[in-house]
Amino acid sequence: MLTASTDIRYLKGVGEKRGEVLKNKGIDTVGALLRFYPRAYLDWTDITPIIDAHFYENVCIKARITTPIETLKKRKDMTIYRFLIEDNTASLEVTLFNQTYLANKLRTGREYLFYGKIDGGFIYKNLKSPIIMESGFMGIEPIYPASSKLSSKTIEKLTKTALSMVQLPETLPEEIRKRNNLCDINFAIQNIHFPKTRDNLNRAIKRLVFEELFILQAGLTFLKRQNRGKSGCVIIDSYFDKFKASLPFELTNAQTRVCKECFADMSSGRPMNRLVQGDVGSGKTAVSAALIFATAKNGFQSALMAPTEILAEQHFNTLSSILKNRNINIGLLTGSLTKKQKEKVKLELKEGKIDIIIGTHALLTDDVEFNNLGLVVTDEQHRFGVNQRGKLSSKGENVHTLVMSATPIPRTLGLILYGDLDISIIDEYPKGRQKIDTYFVNSSYRERIYNFIKKFLNDGLQGYIVCPLVEENEALDITSATEYYEKLKENEFKDYNIGLLHGKMKPKEKDAIMRKFASGEIKLLISTTVIEVGIDVPNSVVMLIENAERFGLSQLHQLRGRIGRGTKKSTCVLISDSKSQDTKKRLNIISKTTDGFKIADADLELRGPGDFLGNRQHGLPEMKIADLFADRDVLKTAGREVENLIKTDPELKNPENSGLKAEIIELYKKINNN
């Protein structure tokens, strides 16, 4: 008997070879085939009047052939048939290539259905080789993501076979379906593939979108609870006062509160899984330092992972200075150490001689081993995937995990990305901070801004100029950081000590420049976006961003976060000559607000979720049908239903929920294999 979990190989019409092709597409079972949804539909019921048929659109047209079928012989091997069709709105030209059988069947004066892409002809709009049906034909055909080895038609045929033999278990409890007006699973599966009407298709889509977002969130909730069930090493926080005494400033109330929330987790006997969210400059590093210090005092090792070497080195310096004379051994592990240096650090780590290791992705490699890892901190979490966070934690047992992030992730997406974490928010800036003033101007102001910057430098303060790319790209007319630097050094800023920082420099060079900038030797840093995350030099109070239109809103916010870190008033100037309305809108938003949440939401609205989810490795399973942004309302509703369900059946023991449970287990596998 065939079931959803039967190997796809055993479905009629598949066999060994085609089975492999299907498996390469991720279709390994009959159930997976049923869950392989069409990417589009050929909808013979959705008729477009010719007058409304736009270029390059796929349309279905119902029209009469009004001219004889004209035959043109182009070459020996090519016959072209041409005729006009007309509905009561306009005419259109149709061309067929070598389709003699079809051409002979068509009758002038009769009405047919034509499906294809609209192209330009000399006089008329043109349809090239459309699919043609008798005009009475009704139906919606699925179009699957096909490949040369597997056509859409083949997938369609196999899916029909599977549908006639297998029923899928229901994954949504009846009560939830009723409340949200959702059809049952088998109606949905039948109609996502072979809908009789648009309405049925829409009902199927509605249900499957809800289901996908429901299972995603249920899965994350269980992941969270699963971690809760484990035991965590116990870290007692009786060292907090000592820690505070070694800081050069007083913690804000928000920082103290967040530290206490973390200590409550870490002393509970269960592992902490917490996200600390705080806008740029809110002081997340100090919070992590407090936990790291306590962990060391309790005899456990900590690891702090940052996305760039510069940032890792900066953290290393910060922690070394806060924790000096405390008999705590701090190590640094980045890709740019020599092999020998790395070996030494790894050995000391393994032997437990290093209490705190700070590093980049280099910490993730398999040969990095710990003696007794107790705490893993990931800084700028949005730069890492869920799986990377997990990988570092898995190097110890009962490890506490803290992830820190500024807030470029909009709330709706944060819910998903951090669904398995508890959240603490630092919603207060250190005392004495002033709002950063931001201006948006065109390049005719450049000279004046240089003079403005010089005034700050003359007062002993520092600043940044940010350019988008390292190398000259004339085609895009982008100011190259290197050339820009040379020019300033020889002209406008020849009396000042300025430095250059970009991603293609050797780590040692970068480090040397950063050190000189931090010590105040370099007054003005010309940089690419390598300074985007985390860099902390509070004496910098002015920033000029060139080609500001090239940056996303959240990125501009991060960049701007490099200033305004001390008690002095800071100013950010954005230069752009872009005439685009969209750019103006974006740059106006960033000029008006410094609230990271608002900026992220605006960015999401203007540019879509790609920047947050697409390019970055976030480690979540790929959505088959739902869109985390477009379906964000459904996301919320489904989230609430997950909460309800967990309250009534926390273990999903109710037989009604077994289908759901199976899907969640399937999802775990995917998250973990990612």
Min dist CB 404 to Mg ion, Å, is 7
Q: How many CB atoms lie within 10 A of CB 623?
A: 15
Binding range to ligand ADP, per CB under 6 A, among 62-70, 439-447, 508-516, 533-541: 533-541
Contact call for residues 342 and 365 (beta carbons, < 8 A): no
Token pair of 202, please? 């829409």
Residue whose pair of structure tokens reads 């060292």 in the numeric block: 239
Tell me, residue by residue from 400 to 439, as one string, x for binding to ligand ADP by CB under 6 A and - for no binding: ------x-----------------------xx--------
Residue 233 near which of Mg ion, ligand ADP, none (CB within 5-8 Å, type-dependent): none
Which residues in 234-293 contact ligand ADP (CB under 6 A)?
Answer: 249-252, 255, 278, 280-286
Binding mask 477-516 for Mg ion (x = CB under 5 A): ----------------------------------------
Q: How many CB atoms lie within 10 A of CB 581?
A: 8
Neighbours of 414 (CB within 10 A): 21
Smallest separation (angstroms) from ligand ADP to the CB of 286: 5
Our CB check for ligand ADP shows the closer of 43 and 261 to be 261
Judged by beta carbon distances under 5 to 8 A according to partner kind, the member of Mg ion, ligand ADP, none in contact with residue 596 is none
Helix 581-592 with 553-560: angle, nearest 10 deg: 40
For ligand ADP, how many residues bind (rule: CB under 6 A)?
A: 20
What region does 145 belong to: left with phi over 0, alpha with psi -120 to 50, or beta? beta
Q: What's the min distance (Å) between Cβ of 672 and ligand ADP?
A: 30
Q: Tell me if residue 78 falls in helix, strand or coil.
A: strand
- Interstrand relation of 273-278 and 400-405 (parallel, antiparallel or unpaired): parallel
CB nearer ligand ADP, residue 538 or residue 609: 538
* DSSP assignment of 143-157: E---BTTB-HHHHHH
Q: Are strands 400-405 and 462-466 parallel, antiparallel or unpaired?
A: unpaired
Quick one: what does residue 286 bind among ligand ADP, Mg ion, none, with the CB cut-off 5 to 8 Å set by partner type? Answer: ligand ADP
Q: Among candidates 373, 378, 421, which has minimal Cα distance to 395? A: 373
* Angle, CA of 79, 82 and 84, to the nearest 5°: 170
Closest chain position to ligand ADP (CB): 283
Sequence-ordered alpha helix ranges (H) in 44-195: 100-105, 152-165, 174-180, 185-193
Task: Give which of 291, 281, 223 is closest to 261, Cα–Cα.
Answer: 291
Q: Which does 462 bind (CB under 5 to 8 A by kind): Mg ion, ligand ADP, none?
A: none
Strand 301-305 and strand 330-333: the pairing is unpaired
Q: Is 278 in the site for Mg ion (CB under 5 A)?
A: no
**Smallest distance from ligand ADP to CB 432, Å:** 7
Of the pair 200, 438, the CB lying nearest ligand ADP is at 438
Residue pair 631/205 in contact by the 8 Å Cβ criterion: no
CB-nearer residue toward Mg ion: 233 or 535 = 535
Nearer to ligand ADP, 250 or 595 (CB): 250
CB of 428 to ligand ADP, least distance (A): 9
User: How many C-alpha atoms does 470 have within 13 Å on its Cβ side?
Assistant: 8
Give the residue with the Cβ less far from ligand ADP, 254 or 635. 254
The tokens describing 350, both together, are 């393994």
Of the candidates 87, 156, 532, 536, which one interacts with ligand ADP according to CB under 6 A? 536
Cα–Cα distance measured from residue 387 to residue 407, given in angstroms and rounded to the nearest whole number: 20
561-600 footprint of ligand ADP as x/- string (CB under 6 A): ----x-----------------------------------
Parallel, antiparallel or unpaired: strands 58-65 and 78-86 = antiparallel
**Binding pattern to Mg ion, positions 518-537, x when CB under 5 A?**
----------------x---
Binding interface with ligand ADP (CB under 6 A): 249-252, 255, 278, 280-286, 406, 430-431, 534, 536, 538, 565
- Give the residues lining the site for Mg ion (CB under 5 A): 534
